[in-house]
Structure 1
Amino acid sequence: MHLHLLQHSPHHGPGRIADWLTSMGHSHTVFHLHAGEAPPSLADGDALIALDGPMSIMDDAHHPWLKRERKLIARALDGNKPLLGIGLGARLIAAELGAMVGRGTFAEVGWHDVTLAPDSPFDLPEQFTAFMWHRDVFALPEDALPLGGSSGSPVQGFAWDAGRALGLLCHLEVTRADVSGLLASDERPEGSETSPHAQSSASILADSVRFDRLAPLLDRLLSQWLRTAPL
């Protein structure tokens, strides 16, 4: 399979996703929308991944490519190819599915436990720790099944159309290098300084094993998701 990846910021890359795709025999192309690259044609790929970014989903004034990306995601939802969104990408998918997207009560930054919902279709442990980097959140889209929630965000993800479209608020793809770059940037979610759900940089980087534990979770998620691809 060949996958298209949409990148929205130099600090929110594909992380372990790129290595996983290569290890599984898939090819991929990263489209750096933030750097002026045009979004791809859906016809040229077998699946689409929309990565995270610091902007809001309707910030067309500062990021005019968002309008084209929203149209691309709408076409992907109407088609039959797998679609995955992480962070901003998940919010864009949720909005296209008619769900409310907006500012959460608190920023959620660092390592937080996610508890699967009773009706969650995700092939993941009943509780796991994921990396968080957001203030904006989304409601569960109509006809979607929930991933589960954390103490700061009750909807951490969703599966729609029998798992063909997935949205994740949390991050399973990040490496220690990815997070170090985020922490060094000025892209911290608004309200991180006062949020009870935001951890310090030292605390976030204190345990490298946390990053290693994300790898099998990402493998399970991506394997499940790509099984929805048409033969």
Structure 2
Amino acid sequence: MHLHLLQHSPHHGPARIADWLDSMGHSHTVFHLYAGEAPPDLADCDALIALDGAMNIDDVATHPWLKRERKLIGRALDGNKPLLGIGMGARLIAAELGATVGRGTFAEVGWHEVTLAPESPFDLPEQFTAFMWHGDVFALPDDALPLGGSPVSPVQGFAWDAGRALGLLCHIEVTRAGVAELLDCEERPKGSDASPHVQAREAILADTSRFDRLAPLLDRLLSQWLRSTPA
């Protein structure tokens, strides 16, 4: 399969997703929308991934490419190709499905527990620790199933159209080097200063094994997601 990846920030890259795609024999192209690259043609890929980013999904005045990207995501939802969104990418998908997207009660930054929803169509652990980097959240779209939630953000993900479209608020694709770069180069999500659910840089990076444990989790999720659409 060939996948198109939409990148919204220099510090929110594919991370371990790129390695997984290579290891599984899939090819991929990354489109750096923040650097002026145009959104791709959906016909040229077998699946689409929209990565995280710091901007508001409605800020088309500052980021005019967002309008084209939202149309691209809408076409992907109307088609039959797998679609994955992470962070901002998930918020874009949720918005295109008519769900409310806005500021959460508290920002979440660092490592937090996610409890799998009983209705989740994905075979994942009942509880797992994921990396969080968000102030904005989304409601569960109509006709979607919840993947799971944290105490602060009850909807940490959703699956739509039998799992063909998947949105993740949390991050299971990150590496230690990528998170260190994010912490050094990006402002914390809005609301971080007043949130009790934001961890310090030292605490986030202290345990390397936390990053290592994400690899099999990502493998399970991506494998099931790409199998969700019949050939």
Q: How high is the TM-score relative to the length of structure 2?
A: 0.99
1:11 and 2:15 aligned:
no
Q: Distance in 2 between matches of 1:49 and 1:126?
A: 25
Q: Distance in 2 between matches of 1:174 and 1:23?
A: 17
Paired with 1:122 and 1:200, the residues of 2 have a C-alpha distance of: 32
Give SS of 2:119's match: coil
Q: Secondary structure at the match of 1:37?
A: coil
1:21-48, Cα deviation, whole Å (9 max, x unpaired): 0000000000000000001101000000
1:22 aligns to what SS in structure 2?
helix
Q: 5 Å matches for 1:184-199?
A: 184-199=184-199
Q: CA RMSD in A?
A: 0.7
Deviation at 1:193, TM superposition (A): 2.0
Equivalence for 1:217: 217
Are 1:3 and 1:48, in contact at CA under 8 Å, matched by a contact in 2?
A: yes
Gaps of 5+ in 1: none
1:89 is aligned to: 89
Give the aligned partner of residue 112 of structure 1.
112
**What amino acid maps onto 2:187 in structure 1?**
E
Q: Residues 81 and 230 of structure 1 are in contact (CA less than 8 Å); yes or no, is this contact kept in structure 2?
A: no
Q: Which residue of 2 aligns with 1:200?
A: 200
After the TM superposition, list the runs of 4 or more consecutive aligned residues in structure 1 that deviate by more than 2 angstroms.
none
Cα distance between partner residues in 1 of 2:187 and 2:144: 30
Offset of residue 62 of structure 1: 1.0
Letter in 2 for 1:169: L
| Aligned equivalents of 1:140, 1:97: Cα separation in 2 | 9
| Partner residue, 2:32 | 32
> How many Å apart are 1:229 and its aligned residue?
3.2
- For residues 123 and 189 of structure 2, what CA distance do their matches in structure 1 show? 29
Partner-residue secondary structure (3-state), 2:108: strand
Could you tell me how far apart the structure 2 residues matched to 1:114 and 1:186 are? 24
- Equivalence map 1:1-231=2 (5 Å): 1-231=1-231
> Any conservation in 2 of the 1:74–1:96 contact (CA below 8 Å)?
yes
**Deviation digits for residues 91-133 of structure 1 (CA, Å, limit 9, x no counterpart):** 0000000000000011100000000111111211000000000
User: For 1:153-191, what per-residue CA distance to the aligned partner results, in whole angstroms no more than 9, with x for missing partners?
Assistant: 000000000000000000000000110011001331012
Counterpart of 1:91 in 2: which secondary structure? helix
The aligned length equals 231
Q: Tell me the CA shift for residue 222 of structure 1.
A: 0.2
Contact 2:11–2:186 (8 Å) recurs in 1: no
Q: Distance in 2 between matches of 1:207 and 1:193?
A: 23
Amino acid of the residue matched to residue 18 of structure 1?
A: A
Q: What is the identity percentage for the equivalent residue pairs of Structure 1 and Structure 2?
A: 83
TM-score normalised by structure 1 residue count: 0.99
Whole-angstrom CA distance in 2 between matches of 1:166 and 1:9 = 21
